[in-house]
Amino acid sequence: LLFYPVQYEGEESSRNVFYTGAAPNQQAIPAVDYFLEELGVEKFALLGTDYVYPRTTNNILEQYLTDNGIAADDIFVNYTPFGHSDWQTIVSDIKKFGSAGKKTAVVSTINGDANIPFYKELGNQGISAEDIPVVAFSVGEEELSGMDTSALVGHLAAWNYFESVESP
């Protein structure tokens, strides 16, 4: 038996595996719904580390977004290798993508320590959550604890739980 505790793409099942993490319909879809319904987002940048979870989740989200009236031209998708650290060009591309007058957001399946330089570059280029909010599915509290979070105020994370939050 395998107990699989992290989020997963949800397109498989096994009688030998207990999946205890969130699938896209439990994590990604509600986060996108929040952007659509509460923030009025009309353009989406789907950023991910290049492996199965981000690719599958983003495929699901692309279809979900188009089913909800978002034009294909209003969806930007980019994948980077594990540990990617040079975010200057990609963040510039997102800034340009978001400058067309439509409310833009980033849905991030960037994994692990690559989040640190990503968020740092957002701050370097003056992108705040008011301009282009980010919701992250794969940033952990450990990465955040080692960062200057002053530039991150207003950005979001969607997890099953946060260990540092003293609340049910």
Kindly give the pairing relationship between strand 43-49 and strand 75-80: parallel
Residue with tokens 């940048």: 45
Confidence of residue 113 (pLDDT cuts 50, 70, 90): confident
> Considering Cα of 75, then 81, then 83, then 84, what sign does the dihedral take?
negative
pLDDT tens readout for residues 28-86: 999 999 999 999 999 999 999 999 999 999 999 999 999 999 999 999 999 999 999 99
**SS3 category, 75:** strand
**74: DSSP letter:** G
d(CA 52, CA 39): 29
Judge residue 140's burial from the number of C-beta atoms within 10 Å of its C-beta, 0-12 exposed, 13-18 middle, 19 or more buried.
middle
pLDDT of residue 142: 73
Confidence of residue 105 (pLDDT cuts 50, 70, 90): very high
More confident of the two residues 50 and 116: 50
Q: Do 68 and 37 form a contact (C-beta atoms < 8 A)? A: no
pLDDT of residue 146: 72
pLDDT tens readout for residues 122-146: 999 999 999 999 999 987 677 777 7
Q: Do 29 and 7 form a contact (C-beta atoms < 8 A)? A: no
